[in-house]
Amino acid sequence: MARGFDILIGVGLGLGLCALIALLWSLLLQPGSPTRSDQAARYQNQTSATENNNAQNQRIAENQQGRAAQHQSATDEATKEQESGETAALARYTWWLMLFTGVLAIATIILAISTIGLWRYAGEQARDHQKADRRE
């Protein structure tokens, strides 16, 4: 009886761990958090905006030859900083997704082991019950 109770506790702890992880995950990804598709769309919009800025910069360069080199380098630096910030956000999101997936994999393995233990325990109980019926 104690072994079956231990197995049930293990299953309960595994399910509780999964529920806790799901709760923490939902808190980390608040409704306003960007998704991967949102980030990709924002990146495309910013890329087209950057292309538009570059075209505008070329027109300015044609009008102001002396200041064109300085202006272009400043625009390029701002674009690089913006892209590196987006890359960092995507990397952070991917890291949290990897961590969550790993925790789910571990919880699944724990639940599988608990299920196998319960299956074996149920077999033992069935054999014990059959032996008790034969004695009577």
Is residue 102 within 8 Å of residue 21, measured between CB atoms?
Answer: no
Average pLDDT, the chain: 76
Is residue 3 within 8 Å of residue 121, measured between CB atoms?
Answer: yes
44 or 66, which is more confident: 44
pLDDT tens-digit profile of 53-110? 777 777 776 766 665 555 566 666 667 777 777 888 888 889 889 999 999 999 999 9
- Could you tell me the residue ranges of all domains in the chain? 2-135
Is residue 63 left, alpha or beta, with left meaning phi > 0 and alpha meaning psi from -120 to 50?
alpha
pLDDT at 113: 92
* Percentage with pLDDT > 90 across the chain: 19
2 or 116, which is more confident: 116
pLDDT at 66: 60
Identity at 62, one-letter amino acid code: E
